[in-house]
Amino acid sequence: MTTPPVGIIMGSQSDWATMREAAMLLDELAIAYESKIVSAHRTPDRLWEYGKTAVDRGLQVIIAGAGGAAHLPGMMASKTRVPVIGVPVQTKALSGVDSLYSILQMPKGFPVATMAIGSAGAANAALMAASILALQDADVAARLDAWREALSASIPEEPTDD
């Protein structure tokens, strides 16, 4: 089977409600992806294998979402040079600030491109992935440009009462 350019990984099934925002945006941009549950704590061997094979499989960007002690994006960045975009999933206990800090504060040498907490972050992760792919793919670049222009065009110049 051909490897898609984007891998969406997440720590738990419970993250999918957030991470499907990334998947839906990639669908809109006609960018192929795979989606997998890969937990840093519950399935460390799966994480290891995914990171170890990412370059050889041909993945070009990894979007990694996790909540709480959100070690998945950082561990994946430690294991592969494929760019990792991190999405902090919003937690009940600490509203996702724990996820954000866990993903953001990487030591020098292993960066994670960290997005906003929650669904906006997941959607932006897809757009960031598209921007990276667009550097080498004119078709993706054209679709991304069109998407951005449509969003701008949808914003009214003046507010209304209703």
Residues at the site binding ligand RP5, with contacts judged by CB under 6 A: 11-12, 14-15, 39, 41, 66-68, 89
Length of the chain counted residue by residue: 162
Q: Find the distance separating the first CA and the last CA of the chain, reported in whole Å.
A: 50
The least distance separating ligand RP5 from the CB of residue 49, rounded to whole angstroms, comes to: 18
Q: Shortest gap between Cβ of 114 and ligand RP5 (angstroms)?
A: 15
* 80 neighbors 55 (Cβ within 8 angstroms): yes
Closest approach of Cβ 133 to ligand RP5, in Å?
Answer: 25
CB of 155 to ligand RP5, least distance (A): 32
Residues 6 or more apart from 20 whose CB is under 8 A from it? 122
Which lies closer to ligand RP5 via its Cβ, residue 41 or residue 46?
41
Residue 131 annotated in ligand binding:
no
Q: CA nearest 118: which of 148, 142, 86?
A: 86
Nearer to ligand RP5, 5 or 74 (CB): 74
| C-beta closer to ligand RP5: residue 10 or 134 | 10
Beta partners for residue 37, in sequence order: 10
Q: Is 148 annotated as a binding residue?
A: no
* Burial per residue of 32-60, b for 16 or more beta-carbon CB atoms within 10 angstroms, e otherwise: ebebebbbbeebeeebeebbeebeeeebb
Token output for 23: 């998947």
Nearer to ligand RP5, 26 or 38 (CB): 38
The response to whether 42 counts as a known ligand-binding position is yes
Could you list the residues known to form a binding site for substrate, using ranges: 12, 15, 42
Could you list the residues known to form a binding site, using ranges: 12, 15, 42
